[in-house]
Each structure stands twice: as structure tokens, then as C-alpha cells.
Amino acid sequence: MSESRRRRAGARQPAAGLAPLLDADPHNPSLQAGAIVSTGTLSLAMPVQPGQTWTAKACGILLESIALRFEA
């Protein structure tokens, strides 16, 4: 597939454009059937436990801090 065609496919079908990038990435797993892809994510997905509170503060971009508590 040509680079131009790959870019157009990626714009129409984000997972189609993301899959080959992740396949070539030695630090992240490839997409698997049933995977959830979230746009705008700035970090890796991490396991959570009931009772945990997570906070996030972005630097260099105009986003407010956020806190999230996980309950059972």
C-alpha cells in the first residue's frame, strides 16, 4: 500500500492507521480483536482497584487537573 493511500485509510479508519504503527512499536502491544481505542489518551492503560484515587495534571497544555476515585 502506498504511503498516500495508507494516510487516507488512517484518516477514515483510525484503527487501520494505528495498527501498523503499533505492530512496529517495540514498547507497546499490537492491537488485538476487541481492543478499545481511546482518542486523546496521554498515558498507558493501567489496572485499577476499588478504593484507589487517581489524579492527573497536564503541563504545557491548557487542561485542568482531574481526580478520579474507583469504587466497587
Domain boundaries, the chain: 3-69
Name the residue among 58, 55, 57 with its Cα closest to residue 70. Answer: 55
The pTM score is 0.39
Residue spans of alpha helices (H) in 1-72: 3-12, 14-23
Sorted by sequence, the CB contacts under 8 Å of residue 37 that are 6+ apart come out as 14, 15, 18, 31
9, 16 contact by CB (below 8 A): yes
> How confident is the model over 6-58, as pLDDT tens digits?
565 555 566 777 788 888 988 888 888 887 777 666 677 788 999 999 998 88
17, 6 contact by CB (below 8 A): yes
Q: What type of residue is 53?
A: T
